[in-house]
Amino acid sequence: MSVPNDAVQNVGWDLTEAILEQIEPTALRYKRRHIERAASQRDAFLGEKDDALALAAMLLNVATQVLQQAAQGEGREALLSVQPERAAAMVAERVQGEIGAREAAGSADEVGAALRSYFSQHPSSVDSILGLLLASSEAPPTPASSDTLSRCVLKLVDGQEHVSTGFVICKHGHVLTAEHVVQGMEEIKVEFRRRKQDGQKVEHSCKASVEHADPERDVAILKLHPGQWEALEEAGAECPELSTQWQPRDCVLCSGYQEHHTFADPFMVEAFVKAHDPLLAVRFRDGVEQECLVLVIPRDNPAVVPGMSGGPVLNTISGRQGVVAMVMGATREAWVRQRWQGEDLWELASSGRYGFAVPLSHVKESWRAFDTCCLSQGRRSSQGGSAANETG
């Protein structure tokens, strides 16, 4: 992945706004574009008559500069390798030091204190910064990764024509999705759509029955009706390699259908496994609390959207490639319980900056047949040298 300048600017603006709210709220009477225009002018903060605007322009310049330098590798690994509290302190120190080195209005100590306070109340802001750094250090997912997902992802359509997602997990016709997708149902419509290299689309529609439902884990196993797996295979569907192996900071690719785009192709979202404490308790708006694999979505990347629940999460890191989790949370409001300086802090997650997933290890615990029917099948294929799951 590469980091767009807009993404750095947006995170830089977040930091600037947070500082101004604490030390110079009058500056926020200016719109962001006015502050950015002042910041783009050489030494704008020295020439402006309005001290508040000058301070805002300087802060934006400094915050953006610190983030750009980190994304380009200047201390990036140091920030990524330490606990979030320490990474936050390092960013605050760098911003404070840059301001102190300039002959400008505003207190460097005051700015540093404001940033530290902001980070302690909003740990997700540190994840946004780390997401930028991870995105700058990883190559984008290959076309083979997208092809792997396009061959296994399925569109699920209920009786009210609501769209969700599932994906095939074995050649016996089992499909994995989220329990909240099929809650109260006995069967659901399944559609497979794949675009060939020549641009033509292949489609197949069938039905699947709910074989296993676990509300506590948000795991559901569907079984395609007899003869339907063979029809899907003929249309180009394939079982992906499944794995329970992932590590913090791994780059992943999520796939699924968008609830409000009935005829669209599957949607792809690039993200990273949270760098620290990736398995966290998440409390959703409906009051359900669950331990989830937390995925950090870099600023300006497409977000996980409604309809993607039940979709596959593919690890794209060499040596650990394979589907490792299932999407279970989109951009609905959620509170994430994070550890900060030894204490638990529940924070309302910023819309679209996190994705939540069920790791396949939890699926294995939920459905006893998963290991022998699905995971072992993949291991046998690998040991036999089969190319059934390879793309190219």
pLDDT given for residue 139 in this prediction: 75
Range of lowest pLDDT (24-38, 160-174, 256-270, 351-365): 256-270
Token pair of 211, please?
A: 């074989």
Spatial distance between the Cα atoms of 254 and 310, rounded to a whole number of angstroms: 10
For the chain, give every residue range classified as CATH 2.40.10.120: 140-392
Contacts of 207 (CB under 8 A, 6+ apart): 187, 188, 189, 190, 224, 225, 228
The tally of CA atoms less than 13 A away on the side-chain side of residue 303 is: 15
pLDDT at 257 (0 to 100): 93
Report residue 380's pLDDT band, with 50, 70 and 90 as the boundaries. Answer: very low
Mean pLDDT of 175-203: 89
Residue 251: HSE in the Cβ half-sphere, 13 Å Cα cutoff: 20
CATH of region 140-392: 2.40.10.120
> Taking all residues of the chain, what is their mean pLDDT, rounded to a whole number?
87
In which band, very low, low, confident or very high, does the pLDDT at 328 lie, cut at 50, 70 and 90? very high
Whole-angstrom CA distances from 37 to 13, 53, 136, 195 are 13, 10, 26, 44
Q: Whole-angstrom distance between the N-terminal and C-terminal Cα of the chain?
A: 20
Q: How does pLDDT run across 245-294, given as a tens digit for each residue?
A: 999 999 999 999 988 765 578 889 999 999 999 999 998 877 888 999 99
The pLDDT tens digits of the residues spanning 289-323 come to 899 999 999 888 888 988 999 999 999 998 888 99
Statement: residue 201 has pLDDT above 70: yes
Q: In the chain, which residue ranges form alpha helices assigned H by DSSP?
A: 5-23, 32-40, 44-47, 51-71, 76-81, 84-100, 108-121, 124-137, 143-152, 179-182, 228-235, 360-366, 369-370, 376-383
Q: How far apart are CA 363 and CA 307, in angstroms?
A: 20
Structural tokens at position 339: 């550890």
d(CA 164, CA 182): 9
Task: Average the pLDDT over 331-335 and give the result.
Answer: 73
Q: What pLDDT does residue 45 have?
A: 46
β-strand 334-340 against 343-348: which pairing, if any? antiparallel
SS3 168: strand
Tokens of 152: 């296994």
Within 8 A by CB and 6+ apart from 111, the residues are 19, 23, 59, 95, 96, 99
Whether 112 and 93 have beta carbons less than 8 Å apart is answered as yes
**pLDDT at residue 44, as a whole number:** 47
